[in-house]
Chains A and B, each alone.
Chain A
Amino acid sequence: MRDVSFGQYYPVKSPVHRMDARAKLIFVIAYIVLLFLIPTVDSSLKRGVSLGDYTVRVAAAYFAILLFMIIVVILSKVPFVKVLKSIKAVIFLVVMTAVIMLLFYSGQATHVYFESGIISISLEGIMSAVTMALRLFFLVIGPSLLTLTTTPVELTDGIERLLMPLSYIKVPVHDIAIIMSIALRLIPTLIEETDKITNAQKARCADFDSGNIFKRAKALIPVLVPLLISSFRRADELAYAMDSRCYRGAKGRTRMKVMKFGIRDLIGLFVIVAVFFVVLMFIYDYFGVATALYKVALGIL
């Protein structure tokens, strides 16, 4: 079976695993917001922050986030390799974005190395490419750590509870949650099935690996059609199975695992607030922390 790290639960017992799914969801949202609060090169330059200052501040901020993530990963007992594997799925996107940033940077630039037509490579461009790559990297790491430490059931439960207020305006929150959890549950099954069908077609001399991109896409049709048909059949049977296990939507349904916002989650809340504060302190140079750091760095160099 192909390796799909994104969205795969890693079953160990750890403080991070035991946290309330709702709390974890909120923390991940806060974490994403934090990543977007780190300004781009261009906007900092416009605010009158020098490139040197900016570099130090952003480096300090990302270092703080990195340190935080390393601690979380260690606490979660998920191997680092497993976490990094989630990057594999988006590595192309990260590289592409960085390259485009590098080549087409159009903001203020003082150190231009190369210029030809719309392409220009400058120190500012390099910086924005690096920060963008870092942002994307951390953007993927956070949510994938969430799915590695939270079972899909807990996750959908958490989303369901968090969105509960919406059910007052007739949003079918429970149905959305159950659809999500079944989709997650079927991913490995469908991957297995795709492999099986692919092999069956290969055994009948189907060729998936040669020709141009259109030819290859066309070669996938004999895989996708049976896959689609069998998915419908599966859905039908699953519906029967759910019906005969007394499913009737959210009506009168209780849960085996009751969520409790505990002391662990409170500590998590404090930590995330602290990280938020530290990062902003670096970025916006509160109390002159970043300036002091800059001087120290200069001193060492």
Chain B
Amino acid sequence: MSFIRLENVSYTYSKGAQNEVRAVKDLSLDIEEGDLVALVGHNGSGKSTVAKLMNGLLVPTSGKVTVDGMDTANKNLLFDIRKNVGVVFQNPDNQMVATIIEDDVAFGPENLGLDPKEIRRRVDWALKSVGMYEYREGAPFRLSGGQKQRIAIAGVLALKPRAMILDESTSMLDPVGKKEIMDIVLKLNREEKITVIMITHFMDEAALADKIFVMDDGDLRLSGGKEILLSPVLEQMGLNAPPAVSIAKKLRAAGMDIGEVFTPEQLAEEICRSL
């Protein structure tokens, strides 16, 4: 059985009201433990709703979401579900609870009811993992966006979740901040074997994932490996292929011998090889 499983899930905001919105329509998908997954789609495609469905912040109007076999509709299991699946949201300012960085990171493990020494160990470990250990006694509001978001990741990491959902976590950051976050996320997936689900509309981020789900209008349109980034369907939905992919395409059209690439690094290699 997959780690996170959505079976024919629908979600409707303000159901029954005049302004009801069907954000997710009959969606099914499976995420295996250890995966690096990207869930892409443009604004209003329902991808953020899916993030909230995955750890029980929202309960599906119909269908079933299970995390490691636990149904999110069961209120008694929510605590254990959230222990396993953490979410990093878009705006770092809206995720901080405390005025001191280490206190904020400690918030999660404190809720788990751990021993003070164990909390301290986890906080130190989480802050070191995101490279913010030296800042632990400072105040978050003086930091840059990227640094704040790293604190938010540490806050989730300190819960030692098996999966981490990044709900547009880089969309408010500059390119430097974005790269910082992506590097950390990739490292966590590789070294700590944490399942990562990136929810994004940046195709260059999606290109880093092993598995990509493309959502449109509350429904799953495409899913598969990196090769779907080459699919013409993406452009019909108004999503641009990652820059590296489109540059490679143009170079190929201009007569250069370029293989299949998804990231800027691969593109650079291919160009060097063909020259």
Say yes or no: A256-B82 contact (C-beta < 8 A), given A241-B87, A242-B97: no
CB of A256 within 8 A of CB of B123, answer yes
Check: B3 CB closer than 8 A to any chain A CB: no
Say yes or no: A189-B93 contact (C-beta < 8 A), given A244-B57, A245-B107, A245-B155: yes
CB of A185 within 8 A of CB of B96, answer yes
CB A79 to nearest CB in B, in angstroms, measures 17
CB B176 to nearest CB in A, in angstroms, measures 21
Residues of B within 8 A of A258 (CB): 116
Interface residues of A in 224-255 (CB under 8 A from B): 234, 237-238, 240-248, 252-255
CB of A255 within 8 A of CB of B110, answer yes
CB of B83 within 8 A of CB of A185, answer no
CB A294 to nearest CB in B, in angstroms, measures 48
Residues of A within 8 A of B85 (CB): 244
Check: B114 CB closer than 8 A to any chain A CB: yes
In the complex the two chains form, what is the Cα distance from A256 to B111 in whole Å? 10
Say yes or no: A256-B97 contact (C-beta < 8 A), given A237-B89, A248-B111: no
Q: Find the A residue at minimum CB distance from B120.
A: A256
CB of A255 within 8 A of CB of B99, answer no
Check: B100 CB closer than 8 A to any chain A CB: yes
Check: B170 CB closer than 8 A to any chain A CB: no
CB of B95 within 8 A of CB of A238, answer yes
Q: Find the B residue at minimum CB distance from A1.
A: B141
Mark A170-196 against chain B: 1 for CB-CB distance below 8 A, else 0.
000000000001101100110010000
CB of B97 within 8 A of CB of A238, answer yes
CB B159 to nearest CB in A, in angstroms, measures 6
Q: Find the A residue at minimum CB distance from B106.
A: A256
CB A296 to nearest CB in B, in angstroms, measures 48
Determine which of A9, A234, A245 lies in contact with B82 in the assembled complex, contact meaning CB atoms within 8 Å: A245
Say yes or no: A243-B110 contact (C-beta < 8 A), given A153-B98, A256-B119: no
CB of A243 within 8 A of CB of B82, answer yes
Say yes or no: A241-B94 contact (C-beta < 8 A), given A254-B113, A255-B116, A256-B120: yes
Interface size band for B: 35 or more
Determine which of B83, B91, B99 lies in contact with A9 in the assembled complex, contact meaning CB atoms within 8 Å: B99
CB B143 to nearest CB in A, in angstroms, measures 12
In the complex the two chains form, what is the Cα distance from A153 to B106 in whole Å? 11
CB of B139 within 8 A of CB of A11, answer yes
CB B155 to nearest CB in A, in angstroms, measures 6
CB B57 to nearest CB in A, in angstroms, measures 5
Check: A151 CB closer than 8 A to any chain B CB: yes
CB of A11 within 8 A of CB of B99, answer no
CB of A241 within 8 A of CB of B95, answer yes
CB of A151 within 8 A of CB of B113, answer no
In the complex the two chains form, what is the Cα distance from A248 to B85 in whole Å? 16
CB of A245 within 8 A of CB of B108, answer yes
Q: Find the A residue at minimum CB distance from B55.
A: A244
Check: A46 CB closer than 8 A to any chain B CB: no
Residues of B within 8 A of A248 (CB): 79, 111
CB of A254 within 8 A of CB of B98, answer no
Check: B64 CB closer than 8 A to any chain A CB: no
CB of A11 within 8 A of CB of B137, answer yes
Q: Find the A residue at minimum CB distance from B108.
A: A245
CB B138 to nearest CB in A, in angstroms, measures 7
CB of A256 within 8 A of CB of B52, answer no
CB of B111 within 8 A of CB of A247, answer yes
Check: A47 CB closer than 8 A to any chain B CB: no
Residues of A within 8 A of B100 (CB): 9, 11, 151, 153
CB of A185 within 8 A of CB of B98, answer yes
Check: A257 CB closer than 8 A to any chain B CB: yes
In the complex the two chains form, what is the Cα distance from A246 to B112 in whole Å? 7
In the complex the two chains form, what is the Cα distance from A255 to B108 in whole Å? 10
CB of A237 within 8 A of CB of B123, answer no
Check: A125 CB closer than 8 A to any chain B CB: no
Give the interface centre of A240, A243, A246, A254 by most chain B CB atoms within 10 Å: A246
Check: A143 CB closer than 8 A to any chain B CB: no
In the complex the two chains form, what is the Cα distance from A254 to B112 in whole Å? 8
In the complex the two chains form, what is the Cα distance from A151 to B139 in whole Å? 10
Q: Find the B residue at minimum CB distance from A157.
A: B103
Mark B226-251 against chain A: 1 for CB-CB distance below 8 A, else 0.
00000000000000000000000000
Residues of B within 8 A of A152 (CB): 98-99
Question: 18 A-B contacts, Cβ less than 8 Å apart?
Answer: A151-B103, A241-B87, A241-B89, A244-B57, A244-B82, A244-B156, A245-B82, A246-B159, A247-B111, A248-B111, A252-B113, A254-B114, A254-B119, A255-B106, A256-B103, A256-B110, A256-B116, A256-B123
Additional A-B contacts beyond A151-B103, A246-B108 (11; CB < 8 A): A9-B100, A9-B139, A151-B100, A182-B97, A237-B94, A243-B57, A246-B159, A247-B107, A248-B79, A255-B106, A256-B109
B-to-A contact residues, CB < 8 Å: 52, 55, 57, 79, 82-83, 85-87, 89, 91, 93-100, 102-103, 106-116, 119-120, 123, 137-139, 141, 155-156, 159
A-to-B contact residues, CB < 8 Å: 9, 11, 151-153, 181-182, 184-185, 188-189, 192, 234, 237-238, 240-248, 252-258
